Amino acid sequence: MSKIETRPVSALTIAGSDSGGGAGIQADLKTFAAHRVHGLSAIAALTAQHTRGVTAVNVPPTGFLRAQIDACFEDFHIGAVKLGMLASSEVIEETASALAQHAAAAGLQVVVDPVMVATSGAKLLQDDALQALRTKLLPACTILT
C-alpha cells in the first residue's frame, strides 16, 4: 500500500492585529486552528485596543505588507485568503496587487470581511479607502461578509 502525501490546508489572513486578542488576526488564527487549518498572517495594521475601545492605529509601510504576503505564498500552499482591516486605499491597492500576482494558485478562495468600524465605534477605514475596496477587492472576492 502506498503512502499518500498530503499537505496541510493553509489559509492566509491579511488584517489588523488586535492587542486585546478579541478581533483581527488573533481571532482569525484561533478560528483557523479550531477548524484544523494552518493559519498564516500578514499584518496590515497594528491597533492598540482593549474591551473599551481603540486607542491607537498604526499602518505599516505597504512594502512590508507585500513582503509578508509574498513570503507566505512562496512557502505555503494557500487555499484561502481572508481579508479584514485594510485601513487605507494604499493598503487595499497593495493587497489587491499581491493577490492578483498569486491568484494563479488554482482555486484560491478570497473572503472579504471589510472592517470599517470597531465594535467600540472607532473608525478603522479611511474615507478614500471605500472606493478602492469596491473597485480593487470586491471583484476578486468569493465571499463578502
Say what percent of the chain tops pLDDT 90.
Answer: 52
pLDDT value of residue 130: 83
3-state class (DSSP) for residue 87: coil
What are the chain's domains?
11-144 (3.40.1190.20)
pLDDT value of residue 92: 94
Which residues of the chain, if any, have pLDDT below 70? 1-7, 105-106, 118-124
Closest to 14 measured CA to CA, from 75, 57, 62:
62
pLDDT value of residue 9: 81
C-alpha distance from residue 88 to each of 40, 121, 129 (Å): 22, 18, 5
The x, y and z cell numbers of residue 143, run together, are 465571499
pLDDT value of residue 133: 87
